[in-house]
Chain A
Amino acid sequence: MSVLFPDGASAGDVVVFWILAAMVAFFAVFTITRKNPVTAVMSLVATFFGLAAMYATLSAHFLAVLQVLVYAGAITVLFIFVVMILNREEVTPLSFRPLRVLGVLAGVYLFVKFVDVVAVGMPTVVPATPSDTFGTVAAVGDLLFRDFLYPFEAISILLLVAIVGGVVISRSHQKEVAANLAADYRKQVHELASHDYPGAAEEPAPEGHH
């Protein structure tokens, strides 16, 4: 036994875990270090796929599928769209302000301590293999629609609000600005006209109609 190869784990499990862990960590670092946003999004997709495979090894089949559909599918497409809209070259990719670097160092320290603590407190044996229905759509859905019905409805309302909010926030205001300008212009013309010709009609009669 060793740290890399824990007791009781089958060789296949260990190899798959380390490959996926290396892939996830590598592409996560790749995501936050790339200058080009498109490359960053693509490494984010790779991270999500690695995590989906890892969920499958944790017998969370439903969530593995959901991870691919929602994260690697929907959210990534959203990111790609915005990258294409913005399309900006980045001038300063990283900013090493002292306080922020201190924050990162504090995080690393916390990570090291976490590894120490968790190595003492957590059981290092492989958990018993769960039943065949563990993590399937039927099992998770049963729990979701019985015990977690209200949270489920709450999250659906949250999604609705997010959709409406997204549309309202990102809406273009150019039409409104143009309409306001045109209204101001008409008002000015009207004031000038009523000043020059006090008794004249408000609107000129359309020609060709008698």
Chain B
Amino acid sequence: MQLREPRFMDFVQEFDSSWSVTMSTIWPNLIVQREMNTLGIRQIVPNGPHEFIMKWTMFGFEGDDAEMTGHRLRQGNLMGPAGFLGLEDNEAMKFVQDGMRRVPGKRHLVKLDPVNEAGTADTLISEAAIRAMYKHWRAEMGL
């Protein structure tokens, strides 16, 4: 299995960082993502109990030449709103939501990494951070 156009996976070193991918979630509804040479933000706007709008903004830089702009636009096929990763994220979130709604009593918990209840984990194979986020969210919402 091979890409016919591997160029879209090229990584141009732009920053003094050893990471090619960084993402941060800023409470309560902003996600800032640098995925290789694309910089994007996702804003989550709730518009009902079962729905939200996700607003995507992808950035270019003032100093980019035509080649670099082209590269960023091509790389948007990875982590843009319908990118190879982005579209699976959108689908996965719908699967989770659809699954939750069909659970009797509306309560549902599958624990990944039950050792770390909520907070920081030493491994990425953990939902401790997201449990902490929801714990805080429930407190803020008075639930």
Are A and B bound to each other? Answer: no
Where the two chains meet, the residues of A that have a C-beta atom closer than 8 Å to any C-beta of B are none
Where the two chains meet, the residues of B that have a C-beta atom closer than 8 Å to any C-beta of A are none
